[in-house]
Amino acid sequence: MEHTGPDAHPWLVALEQSGLGVAMRQSLLLYPAVEILHIFGFVLLVGSIVGFDLRMLGLAARLPVAPFARHAVPLAMLGFCLAAPMGLLLFATEATSIAANTAFRFKLTCIAIGLLNAAAFHLGPWRSLLQRGEVTMAAKLGAVVSLLAWSGAIIGGRLIAYL
């Protein structure tokens, strides 16, 4: 499934042909182990985010937001710190063809939106949430954007194999 034609970027070819790319393709255990860790990472990431976003949208309204966030946010960050490098290892196996895949590009776009949304949330609505203890309309909007972005990332990731 290599796509090493004239339109392939040299760094993608180099990554794919590197010892890392070769090892990921040739090992019977390495690829599945990395894929499992990638899945665990995004389960932690998205699971934590979905719980937090649903709380922002009114689910379990009796649950105080700040204590919930003290658990959910570190789990989400741990999940991202596991999923991202494992995803890079998976990418190295067929970097040239995956980079050209529409579903992969959609996935990366959704991840970027999700990360930018999280940063914007922590700079704005999160501060007012902690100060006033209320979930503002901006926090709810951020939760909707987050749910859509991370759902899109999962959908895009799953569709890579089919597009």
Predicted local confidence at residue 65, as pLDDT: 86
Half-sphere exposure of 40 (CA within 13 A, CB side): 11
Instruction: Look at residue 129 in the predicted model and tell me its pLDDT.
Output: 75
In this predicted structure, what is the pLDDT of residue 7? 67
**Residue 67, Cβ neighbours under 10 Å: how many?**
9
Q: What is the residue-wise DSSP string for 27-65? A: -TTHHHHHHHHHHHHHHHHHHHHHHHHHHHTTTTTTS-H
Query: What whole-number distance in Å separates Cα of residue 70 and Cα of residue 15?
Result: 38
Q: Report the distance separating Cα 146 and Cα 114, nearest Å.
A: 6
Q: Please tell me the distance from the alpha carbon of residue 88 to that of residue 153, in angstroms, as a whole number.
A: 15
Contacts by residues 121-128 (CB-CB < 8 Å, ≥ 24 positions apart): 121/146, 126/69
Handedness of CA 96, 97, 98, 103 (dihedral sign): positive
Model confidence, pTM: 0.90
Domain ranges of the chain: 10-159
Cα angle 108-112-114, degrees, rounded to a multiple of 5: 115
For residue 60 the two structure tokens come to: 């379990």
Give the pLDDT confidence score for residue 1 in this predicted structure: 44
For the chain (length 163 residues), average pLDDT per consecutive 10?
63 95 96 97 97 94 86 95 98 96 98 96 80 83 97 97 93
> How far is it, in rounded angstroms, from Cα 26 to Cα 21?
9
pLDDT given for residue 132 in this prediction? 73
